[in-house]
């Protein structure tokens, strides 16, 4: 006996897929060394960061809708690329 599949089941879409996980340094102020490392999860819908890689203590979730990215000057001794994420509505 074959089971028929309804149109709703056939059109299931995968949402909020994880794109990348890792550590991210979040600058918390304008002073040179005022930053903290967090574990981040970038998905198709949002960017979330946690206190550690266990992903239990979520510190913040940033929806990706209406966000833009721009390069940031790293400074004299900067070794890593730096960028800023901002909301176009703000």
Give the strand pairing for 46-50 and 58-63: antiparallel
Q: Is the pLDDT at 83 greater than 80, yes or no? A: no
On whether the CB atoms of residues 36 and 29 are closer than 8 A, the answer is no
All structural domains of the chain with their residue ranges: 14-87
Q: What is the pLDDT of residues 34-51, one digit of tens each?
A: 888 899 999 999 999 999
Confidence of residue 78 (pLDDT cuts 50, 70, 90): low
Pick the CATH number of 14-87 from 2.40.128.120, 2.30.29.30, 3.40.50.300, 3.40.50.1100: 2.30.29.30
The tokens of 86 are what? 């901002």
pLDDT higher than 90, residue 32: no
Compute the distance between CA of residue 17 and CA of residue 28 in angstroms, rounded to an integer. Answer: 28
Tokens 């979730």 belong to: 61
- Note the pLDDT tens digit of each residue in 18-28: 999 999 887 77
Please say if the pLDDT value at position 62 is more than 80. Answer: yes
Give the distance from CA 71 to its chain's centroid: 16
Q: Quick one: pLDDT band at residue 66, thresholds 50, 70, 90?
A: confident
Grouping H, G, I as helix, E, B as strand and the rest as coil, residue 25 is: strand
């Amino acid at each position: 006996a074959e089971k028929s599949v309804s149109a709703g089941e056939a059109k299931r879409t995968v949402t909020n897929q994880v794109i990348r996980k890792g550590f991210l340094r979040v600058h918390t102020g304008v002073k040179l060394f005022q930053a903290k490392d967090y574990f981040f999860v970038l998905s198709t819908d949002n960017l979330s960061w946690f206190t550690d890689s266990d992903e239990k203590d979520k510190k913040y979730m940033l929806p990706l809708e209406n966000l833009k990215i721009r390069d940031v000057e790293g400074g004299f001794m900067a070794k890593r690329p730096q960028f800023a994420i901002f909301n176009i509505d703000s």
